[in-house]
Chains A and B, each alone.
Chain A
Amino acid sequence: MESKDYLKDITEIKDLMNKSSRFISLSGLSGILAGIYALVGAYFAHGIIAKIKVIKNPLKQFFVSFDSVETLLLIAISVILISIITAFYLTRKKAKKQNEKIWNKTSKRLILNFLIPLLTGGIFSVILIAKGYFDLIASTLLIFYGLSCVNASKYTLGDIRYLGITNIILGLLSTQFVGYGLYFWAVGFGIMHIVYGTWMYFKYDLKK
């Protein structure tokens, strides 16, 4: 009879430790959707790049690819924006269900620690572009995104640590396959988000 109470004590201690130090309302479903958006974006980007490759005249190819940069950037930014909006909306919904506020100490800490490596990687990529080192941009973003996930995993559901490690490995591998960055992105940002999102969805979202 007594030991049952002690067990309840331990469960409550663990629950409070998690709830007070980690933001646990992160939605798995938003990961799945972000992965799908990334794949759709990669599909369109692939189409544009394939069209450029067909052009035989080198001068014309140069001008068309120059014009396409804007479209490609637009695709990338749309994917990121829609993903963030989806994550925010679904996480808010889950937080309401779990009686957690979406804007509290744990979520602020999570966002800050996620953004430190991510912004570093973003700035570093801009520097790479400015200096004309285009070859390693795809790898750089994958690696820094991976590091962001690893860093953020201490402040939310620990599983995104593995998403991070997978992306770091993909990023390092992609340095050996310059020109195939888009495929590595499709795997890292697309398929891996879907895989880990599904895993987290079944592990956390469905249970509660």
Chain B
Amino acid sequence: MSIISNINKAFDHRIRLGIMSILMVNEYADFNMLKELLGATDGNLASHTKALEKVEYIKVEKQFIGRKPNTRYSTTKLGREEFKKHISALEKLINKQ
């Protein structure tokens, strides 16, 4: 049953899994890039990024590009480790079948 315990509840949603997937292969991504790639609404995406921020899997940086506010996200070390664990747990579950 140790496999099941590695399935991380924080990633148990399409959008949250998506945010992590994108941030794993990019140094950082801004809000609009995530929105475009995931096809999510502003409110929906914001609530999921907040959830991931709360468990400290992602970092949020707010800055200004010219006059426009820009929010960009990146993974934390903890987030990367947890995501890798989650993926290998998923793979093990699939291979078991």
Contact = CB atoms under 8 A, between A and B. Distances in A.
Range, interface on chain B: 20 to 34
A50 interface: no
Interface of A: 2-3, 6-7, 9-10, 12-13, 16-17, 19-21, 101, 105
A20 B87 contact: no
23 contacts: A2-B93, A3-B96, A3-B97, A6-B90, A9-B17, A10-B90, A12-B14, A12-B17, A13-B17, A13-B21, A13-B87, A16-B18, A16-B21, A16-B22, A16-B37, A17-B21, A17-B24, A19-B37, A20-B21, A20-B29, A20-B33, A101-B36, A105-B33
Contacts, number: 44
Given A6-B90, A10-B91, A13-B87, A20 B37 contact: yes
B65 interface: no
A2 B94 CA distance: 9
* Highest count of chain B CB atoms <10 Å: which of A2, A3, A16: A16
Interface majority SS on A: helix, strand, loop or mixed? helix
Interface of B: 14, 17-18, 21-22, 24-26, 29, 33, 36-38, 87, 90-91, 93-94, 96-97
Contacts of A3: 93-94, 96-97
